[in-house]
Amino acid sequence: MDDEQVIALYNRVRTGRKTWPAGMWSSPAALQYAVTVFDYWIHNVMGWKGWPEARTRITPALLEEHHLADIVENVFVPEFGEDWLDFEVLLNESMRLSEDENWAPELVDRQERVEAAFEHAFEQILGSPKTQPRLLPIYHRFRNHLMRMWGAFQEAQAEHDKAQREAAERFWTGLRLVRATRGPSGEQWSIVNDEDERLGEIVVVWGDPHPYCLIVLDGQLSGERGTWEQVIWKLEQELLVEDPGVLTYSVWQKGFVGEFYRCADCGELHSQFDENPGEELRMDLRDDD
């Protein structure tokens, strides 16, 4: 799941409409899911400024009330022990600092930036282990946490990329893209099967201020064949390789699915609208659905 899917699921869990799926908190992406949920909860649900403020306000009762106790018990405590909250405060500040382009511009490698930001954040929040020897055990413990978490994030990303690639390969078995037209203002492709039956149309308009891509898919491409996400994956992997900048995808399949864009920060597809963006415009919904 990407960040938006995890957050949407948490909102359903938090309001009692769903429960956490079995195996979610034992998957390779469990740490990434947990951090995503807590960051969203702290900033968007509680309205706090960040983890430092949250550290003084989080209680066991509050975690239970907001359906977060399972995450703490199954992910944070097993990984980081009872000082999980102090570590998460430090981790969050380290990640925030490492993502600031103006901080330490001489450090280019992502992992180097995270480690350097951790050193800086530890001194700012807890103190310097060089001048306060009592902090050395905490420093080494937290640094080991950081490296283990970085490894878990890398593993989760690799699993995500693999799953995305395999899903796209399954979807495109027996299908291919055929360019229909090409001009200075845009291009058009068709999705055809082995019998040259057209199952989708794709139009890209090189508009101002951003390019715009319209994707219209036949209904039989849904279900086991995969989804529109595999179509976007194919476009970005093979056709839009020169990075056209911000590009909006409008997707239609049995009605309006939604408008999406590729987030430059996390690399995932995000909806331009709220949760269930196309539901109000769907043409295949019955009154009893």
- The whole-number pLDDT of residue 77 equals 92
- We report the CATH number of the domain holding residue 217 as 3.40.630
286: in domain: no
Whether residue 99 is found in the same domain as residue 213? no
> Is the peptide bond between 244 and the residue preceding it cis, with omega within 30 degrees of 0?
no
In this structure, the answer to whether residues 179 and 270 fall within a common structural domain is yes
How many C-alpha atoms does 154 have within 13 Å on its Cβ side? 8
Answering whether pTM is above 0.75, one says no
Residues 20 and 156 in one domain: yes
Are residue 215 and residue 164 in the same domain, yes or no?
no
Sheet harboring 256-262: ordered strands across?
A: 175-183, 186-193, 198-205, 212-217, 248-252, 256-262, 269-271
Single residue among 143, 169, 195 that ends a domain in this structure? 169
Please report how many Cα atoms fall inside a 13 Å half-sphere around the Cα of residue 249, on the Cβ side.
26
DSSP state of 210: S
For residues 234 and 269, membership in a common domain is answered with yes
Residue 232 lies in domain: 175-281
In-domain check, residue 249: yes
Residue-level pLDDT at 152: 74
Q: Is-contact 202 186, C-beta < 8 A?
A: no
pLDDT at 190: 92
Per-residue pLDDT of the chain (289 residues; tens, 9 = 90+): 778 889 999 999 999 898 888 888 888 788 888 988 998 999 999 999 888 888 889 999 999 999 999 999 999 998 888 889 988 888 888 888 888 888 888 988 888 888 899 999 899 888 898 899 899 998 999 888 888 877 777 777 788 788 888 888 888 888 988 988 888 888 899 999 999 899 999 998 887 777 888 999 988 886 555 678 888 888 888 777 565 567 888 999 888 888 888 776 666 777 776 544 333 333 333 334 3
User: Is residue 287 included in any domain, yes or no?
Assistant: no
| 180 and 144, same domain (yes or no) | no
Overall domain count for the chain: 2
Dihedral Cα 247, 248, 252, 258, nearest 10 deg: 140
Please identify, among 111, 139, 169, the residue that sits at the C-terminal boundary of a domain. 169
Residues 142 and 160 in one domain: yes
Instruction: Please indicate, yes or no, whether residues 235 and 147 belong to a single structural domain of this protein.
Output: no
Packing angle of the helix pair 110-125, 84-98 (nearest 10 deg) = 130
Q: Which of 150, 169, 188 is the last residue of a domain?
A: 169
45 and 128 part of one domain: yes
- pLDDT in the model for residue 266: 61
Residues 99 and 7 in one domain: yes
